[in-house]
Structure 1
Amino acid sequence: MKIIIVGCGKVGTTLAEQLNREQHDITLIDRDPDVLLSVSDSIDVMCITGNGAIYQVQMEAGIQDADLLIATTNSDELNMLCCLIAKKAGNCHTIARIRNPEYSAEINYIREELNLSLAINPELAAAQEIARLLRFPNAIKIEPFAKGRIELLKFLIPKESILDQMKVMDVVNKLKSNVLICAVERGEDVVIPDGNFEMRTGDKISFIASHADLAEFFQKAGIENNTVNRAMFVGGGKLTYYLTKLLSDTKLKITIIERDAGRCRELSELLPNVMIIHGDGSDQQLLLEEGICRTEAFASLTGFDEENIMLSLYAASRSKAKLITKVNKIAFENVINSLNLGSVIYPKMLTADIILQYVRAMQNSMGSNVETLYKIVADKAEALEFRVKKDDPLLGIPLEHMKLKDNLLVACINRNGMIITPRGKDTLEAGDTVIIVTTHTGLNDLKDILR
């Protein structure tokens, strides 16, 4: 597909890298020629210097032939204007990044009036992920599949766990638990395990299960899923506001620490049932006075990665709280993942992933049949949801007779809302959606799972 990206910040650059890897024709528009030069050195893309909201600039970028325009500048208004012009000039699909909470209440109206294909809010997407994690504190990451009927959940095997040195096949045989372990991270390695794979303490395990089976698995594995009653958030930005609003219907007692007095006053008016503390979140004495040792969830959500990382490490040394760490820079992911930071949230990466899912869905209507896509480990493993079509050559063939690629697992079949954990005798039927977990990135069709 021909895709134009306006705005060459972290989101725009991440998107350009991922979409270029999937063989799309990418054109970047940005006002800063130095930024464009830097990106074009590492990615094979066409670059246009200029304001993406100018008709002539979009024409130069080839808007008339474009399938999609994505506006990811720092200005919501500029993004909306870019999409409006693109719709008139090229009649293509449009995606706008819209972050201001004032627009969030009217987002459906804005989408309809501007005819946007997608309006994406990085802070809201991150808040939704954190809210899911606070529901299941043992999870490092939770992704919904099959329209929310099942979830892909990642967690760390704790010390002295019954899962230590247990074979994957014994999760079903001994624990009698209906979950499917589909990926294991050990250090920098990612493995799609077979039944004889032996799990160890410290492994990060990704598995697929329904809501009921999730809770039952943790119970049988002897892992307590402690309910969170008290939470402390450091940083009072947009993400914290959205998260607190999402949690407003729970009984969670929330304390927010924010250093800007004006922002504290705003939050006090917007969130009347929340304790707002004016102070420096990196002040150890303040954190102790506000109960960091007793809190059951701690989220470091300031605008500074270094501060967030140090705060989470300090919280880990003082409490057994569920840790959530917001990180903007993606460059040092391997180093960050080696630290005890709990669940690391990358708003920029989340935004790129949601847009990537939409692009895959567009391809779906153009011949590909990927419904949804999630990165289990960035650039190393993916979980994809395919829809099985009437003329698919894989119909009716038992899974045990298919010559599947190595490091690939058929993880789940959703048949009209009935969730099937696949075994060798199971077959694929027209209308099913099937979840594939693999280290082969960039699969576009169900046929791609075969050797």
Structure 2
Amino acid sequence: MKIIIVGCGKVGGTLAKQLCSEGHDVTVLDKDASKLRAMSSGYDVLALEGDASSYSDLKEAGVEDADILIAVTDSDEKNLLCCLIGRKTGNLKAIARVRNPVYNSEVEFFRKGFGLAMVINPEMAAASEIARMFRFPSAINIETFAKGHIELLTFHLPEHSKLAGKPLTYIHSKLHTDVLVVMVKRGDQVTIPSGDFVVQAGDVLSIVTGHGQAHDFFGKIGIETNRVKNVMIVGGGKVTYYVAKKLIENGISVKIIERDRTKCDELSDLLPRAEIIHGDGIDEDLLLEEGIEVVDGFTALTGLDEQNIMIGLFAKSVSKSNVKLVTKITKISFDDVIARLNLGSIVNPKEITADYILQFVRSMQASVGSEMENLYKLPDSNAEAMEFHIGEQCKACDIPLQKLRLKKNILIAKIYRGDHLFTPTGSDYMQVGDTVVLVALREHKITNLDDILER
């Protein structure tokens, strides 16, 4: 497909890299010539210098015959105007990044009035991820499929776990629980495992299970799943507001530490049920005085990655309650180094934004036989989890799974049929109307369900 990306920042660069690798014709438009040079030297893109709100510049970028226009500049208004020009000029799908909380209540108007395919708020998307992580503190990451009926959780397997040193068949034969391990990461090696795979302490596991079943599984393998009752947040920006609002709605007590008096006053008005502390979040004495040692959950959401990392490491080092730590990182890109630090769950708003947009692009490529509903990258790996709704022309339908010629490193994890959720065996099959969750290595570049079959 022909795709125009307007804005050459972190999100635009991530999108350009991924979309190029998937064979799309990508054009990038930005006012910053130095960013464009770096982009064109690293990726197979057409880089054009121009303004997001200029009709002539967008026309030069090919807006008249483009399939998708993605506006991710730093200006909400420019993104919206750019998409409006694109919709009026060509027959394309338009996606706008909109960050200002003022516009949150107007998203539906933008979609319908401007004809936008997607409006995404990075801070709100990140807040949803963070709030979900506090709901299940044992997990590094949590995603949901089939409107919440299916959950995918990623976690570290501790030394004391009953599962360590056991083959995966142990889960069904001895624990009698319907949980499927879909990915194991050991060091730098990522494996989509079979039943005889033996997991070891220190492995990172991703599991797929029905809603609410993970608590029982974690209990059986000896991992505590204590509910987070209170959370301390350092930083009073947009993400903090969204996170605090969601946590309070879920009955979790929230304490926010912010050094800007004006922001403290604003948060007090917006979040009357939260405790707002005016102070510097990098002051160790203040953090100790406010109870960082005994909080159930902690997250640093300042605008500086370095501060978030250092405060998070301090929280982990002084915790007496096995604190659930979530760390927001936006700019630092030393992924391997960051992964080795004890930072708990890591959230990157810009990567989350890029993932949502990539999911939409993949869904547009899907054939009439299957429609991609969700796409998630598994943490720190080259594997992806996908959700498909099966249409009438799917070639993989009504054939026992054991007879399908599946590509290597593809695992069909769950089938949701009517109100029935099950882990399929070789004799089971997919049929029209099913929701199917599968896991595959990213190298397969799956856009519809038929891509899982050998040609």
TM-score (norm 2): 0.96
Aligned to 2:340: 338
Find the aligned partners of 1:85 and 1:359 in 2 and give their Cα distance. Answer: 20
Aligned to 1:86: 86
Change (3 A) 1:8 1:52: same
Aligned to 1:53: 53
Aligned to 1:448: 451
The 5-angstrom pairing of residues 306-321 of structure 1 reads: 306-319=306-319, 320-321=322-323
The 5-angstrom pairing of residues 165-180 of structure 1 reads: 165-180=165-180
Identity of aligned residues (%): 50
Aligned to 1:251: 251
Return the letter of the residue paired with 2:278. H
> Gaps (5+ residues) in structure 2?
none
Which of 422, 434, 445 pairs up with 2:436? Answer: 434
The 5-angstrom pairing of residues 272-421 of structure 1 reads: 272-319=272-319, 320-329=322-331, 331-364=333-366, 369-377=371-379, 380-421=382-423
Return the letter of the residue paired with 1:148. G
Return the letter of the residue paired with 1:239. V
Find the aligned partners of 2:383 and 2:389 in 1 and give their Cα distance. Answer: 20
- TM-superposed CA distance for 1:94, in Å, is 0.8
Contact 1:360 1:372 in 2 (8 A): no
Q: 1:48-104: per-residue Cα shift (whole Å, max 9, x none)?
A: 101111110011011110111111011111111111111111132111111111111
Q: Greater CA deviation, 36-45 or 433-442?
A: 433-442
Aligned to 1:214: 214
TM-score (norm 1): 0.97
Find the aligned partners of 2:112 and 2:244 in 1 and give their Cα distance. Answer: 27
Q: Greater CA deviation, 103-112 or 171-180?
A: 103-112
The count of residues paired between Structure 1 and Structure 2 equals 451
Find the aligned partners of 2:428 and 2:421 in 1 and give their Cα distance. Answer: 12
Contact 1:395 1:430 in 2 (8 A): yes
- TM-superposed CA distance for 1:215, in Å, is 1.9
Aligned to 1:184: 184
Aligned with 2:366: secondary structure?
A: helix
Return the letter of the residue paired with 2:407. K
Q: Greater CA deviation, 50-59 or 244-253?
A: 244-253
Contact 1:360 1:371 in 2 (8 A): no
Return the letter of the residue paired with 1:390. E
Q: Greater CA deviation, 381-390 or 420-429?
A: 381-390
Change (3 A) 1:376 1:365: same
- TM-superposed CA distance for 1:263, in Å, is 1.2
Q: What do you get for the CA RMSD once the two structures are aligned? A: 1.5
Q: 1:140-182: per-residue Cα shift (whole Å, max 9, x none)?
A: 1111111221011111112311111121110111110111110
Aligned to 2:162: 162
Contact 2:385 2:438 in 1 (8 A): yes
Find the aligned partners of 1:84 and 1:169 in 2 and give their Cα distance. Answer: 54
Contact 1:158 1:202 in 2 (8 A): yes
Aligned to 2:227: 227
- TM-superposed CA distance for 1:191, in Å, is 0.8
Find the aligned partners of 2:69 and 2:335 in 1 and give their Cα distance. Answer: 28
- Following superposition, which runs of at least 4 residues in structure 1 exceed 4 angstroms of deviation? 365-368
Q: Greater CA deviation, 262-271 or 371-380?
A: 371-380
Aligned with 1:212: secondary structure?
A: coil
Find the aligned partners of 1:173 and 1:366 in 2 and give their Cα distance. Answer: 39
Contact 2:312 2:325 in 1 (8 A): yes
Contact 2:369 2:391 in 1 (8 A): no
Find the aligned partners of 1:54 and 1:266 in 2 and give their Cα distance. Answer: 36
> Gaps (5+ residues) in structure 1?
none
Contact 1:233 1:257 in 2 (8 A): yes
Find the aligned partners of 2:115 and 2:280 in 1 and give their Cα distance. Answer: 43
